[in-house]
Amino acid sequence: GEDVEQSLFLSVREGDSSVINCTYTDSSSTYLYWYKQEPGAGLQLLTYIFSNMDMKQDQRLTVLLNKKDKHLSLRIADTQTGDSAIYFCAVLLTGGGNKLTFGTGTQLKVEL
Amino acid sequence: DTGVSQDPRHKITKRGQNVTFRCDPISEHNRLYWYRQTLGQGPEFLTYFQNEAQLEKSRLLSDRFSAERPKGSFSTLEIQRTEQGDSAMYLCASSFDSSTDTQYFGPGTRLTVL
């Protein structure tokens, strides 16, 4: 089955850029998503990218997809304390039903 | 607010008891999903419905788990004879049948089995 991996922690200073990385194994991915989860809460959809795209920008968020290396990244510009949360990448596969396969999440800590 | 809602938000039960959770999807969404999230992990797929039909179930969904969506609107997830290993956050998501199938999540129900 699909395996999605993320680094566990990232610490940045307020105002810097954050880059959260994700790798996946199945090349038949169709859509790839980034979700944000704050403590005790559900998942908030941040953005998504279709597998035939290389990049998508949405305000402070930039998603880069390297399909050859099966690598996805989320860049947050001008990171704020309110961005502190756990960030999950998730992959939707062709022929994988409609289930999302999630990574283990990256905890982003923004320091003053 | 017209997002996905779940009830209850928290449930504490004793081992061996039955529990039932409810999910109300976004009103125009015809697909509904259940996921389970344990501490420190990403959500894992349990099952999904298109309208009232349950189209896929994970191996994680043992015989003690049953999900329904009788009228294609809200859904219930029941766990019978709960075990301590069932303690987790149960997340519901919904989507509209389209090419992106973007799933929107509810706040979750946190289950603690004592």
Q: Are A99 and A1 in contact (CB under 8 A)?
A: no
DSSP, res A13: E
Q: Look at residue A76 in the predicted model and tell me its pLDDT.
A: 98
With an 8 Å Cβ cutoff, is B30 touching chain A? no
Instruction: Report how far residue B29's alpha carbon sits from residue B91's, in angstroms, rounded to the nearest whole number.
Output: 16
Kindly report the average pLDDT of chain B as a whole number.
93
pLDDT at B1: 54
Closest approach of A57 to chain B, Cα-based (Å) = 17
Structure tokens at A40: 């005790």
pLDDT at res. B54: 92
Per-residue pLDDT at B87 = 97
pLDDT of residue A43: 94
**pLDDT score for A22:** 96
pLDDT at position B78, please?
A: 97
Indicate if the pLDDT at residue B85 is higher than 60. yes
Q: What is the DSSP letter of B86?
A: G
Chain A segment 24-83 residues within 8 A of B by beta carbon are 31, 33, 35, 40-45, 48, 50
Give me the pLDDT at residue B48, please: 92
Tell me the average pLDDT of chain A. 92
Report the alpha-carbon angle B38-B67-A101, nearest 5. 45
Q: In this complex, do A45 and B105 lie within 8 Å of one another by their Cβ atoms?
A: yes
Alpha-carbon distances, residue A48 vs A67, A88, B6, B86 (angstroms)? 14, 12, 24, 31
In A, which residues are within 8 Å of B108 by CB distance?
41-42
State residue A98's pLDDT score.
Answer: 78
Q: What is the pLDDT of residues B20-76, one digit of tens each?
A: 999 999 998 999 999 999 998 999 999 999 999 999 899 888 899 999 999 889 999
At residue A29, does pLDDT exceed 90?
no
By Cβ distance, the residue of B42, B105, B106 closest to A104 is: B42
d(CA A82, CA A18): 13
Q: Is A103 on the interface with B (CB under 8 A)?
A: yes
Backbone angles phi, psi at B40, to 5 degrees: 80, 5
What pLDDT, in 10s, does the model give residues B38-52? Answer: 998 999 999 999 999
Count of other CB atoms within 10 angstroms of residue A42: 23
At A30, is the pLDDT very low, low, confident or very high (cuts 50, 70, 90)?
Answer: confident
